[in-house]
Structure 1
Amino acid sequence: MKRRLYITLAILHLFVAIGAIPAGYALFTKPDGSSLGMPTEWLEGSPFPDFFIPGLFLFIILGLGNLLTAMPIFKQHKLSGIAGLSMGGILVIWIIIQVVIVGLASFLQPLFFFVGLIQLMLGYWIFRLAKV
């Protein structure tokens, strides 16, 4: 059972990374959003004139962050729970801020919101198991 928690969490980290790395790269290399069909009008009223900073955050923090934490989680590293809590929390906050700024624009927003919640939940369980 314990091993399954780690494997599930690591797979979720890889799932997020697989989505965030190419999307983030597309946004910071073409900050007008055209490569993903995202108009810059979505950012009106936000602190960003284009998608460069959001794309960089998506690529580095959510993409590379989840990718780099997946392997230690697969190996049941003692900080796996904290990694799950951290990356899940960042993803949930990212989606909330995104929906506040651009509105509900895609089915991917609720999907990744729930993935983040599951990362949080699994991270918490693993953290609690590691302390026992």
Structure 2
Amino acid sequence: MLLLSIGGFYGGVSFLTDPSGRSLGMAPTVVQMLPVANLFLPGLFLVITFGIAPFMLTYALLAKPRWALAEAAVNDMPYHWAWAASVGLSALLIIWIVVQFGFIGYQFPVQPITGLWGVLLLGLLLLPSVRRHCAI
């Protein structure tokens, strides 16, 4: 999760500071394939969803804090809410990459690496030892 956070901040801040994507080597034709005028909104999404959220989840997976609102969202699950949120975030990462391929195709080596990272995170979260650690 921490590595995902670093990548989310890097990509997101890069898009926020340069919404054209040129600083990351994106050709103008890539942005033209997207349903947005520039990369500011995707950058904001990356910072919040794949920067801030996994950073917070890294802490929550280790410390297992009791947060009433988060616990209420997964009240019948036998695992800590941070585990459920991490599984959801890993699935969202995979979906994000699939949607990216749908819009712009294969453009950058980081795309399949990020998709594989999402699959790896999901696989790690589903390991019995991790589930035991995250059991309530």
Partner of 2:39: 51
Structure 1 residue ranges, 4+ long, deviating more than 3 angstroms after superposition: 124-132
- Identify the residue that residue 65 of structure 1 maps to in structure 2: 53
> Residues 81 and 124 of structure 1 are in contact (CA less than 8 Å); yes or no, is this contact kept in structure 2?
no
Residue of structure 1 equivalent to 2:84:
82
The answer for the alignment partner of 1:111 in structure 2 is: 113
Moved more, 104-113 or 78-87: 78-87
The alpha-carbon distance between structure 1 residues 128 and 42, as it changes in their structure 2 partners (threshold 3 A), is same
TM-score normalised by the chain length of structure 2: 0.77
Root mean square deviation of aligned Cα: 2.1
Q: What amino acid is the match of 1:119?
A: L
AA partner of residue 96 (structure 1) = V
Amino acid in the other structure paired with 1:24: G
Instruction: Rate the CA distance shift 1:124–1:108 in 2: closer, same or farther, 3 A.
Output: same
SS of equivalent residue, structure 2 residue 115 = helix
Q: Deviations over 1:37-90 (max 9, x none)?
A: 212311324211111111111111111111111111123562232122111011
* 2:31 aligned with 1:29: no
Give the count of matched residue pairs: 120
> Whole-Å Cα distance in 2 between the matches of residues 16 and 124 of structure 1?
17
Higher relative CO (CA 8 A, sep ≥ 6), structure 1 or 2? Answer: 1
The whole-number CA distance in structure 2 between the counterparts of 1:131 and 1:19 is: 28
CA distance in 2, matches of 1:131, 1:76: 10
Letter in 2 for 1:112: T
Q: Percent identity?
A: 28
Q: Which has the higher helix share?
A: 1
1:128 deviates by 5.0
Larger Rg: 2
Q: Which runs of 5+ in 1 are unaligned?
A: 1-12
Contact residue 7 and residue 50 of structure 2 kept, 8 A = no
Sort the Cα spacing of 1:81 and 1:87 in 2 relative to 1 into closer, same or farther, 3 A.
Answer: same
Alpha-carbon distance in structure 2 between the residues aligned to 1:69 and 1:75: 10
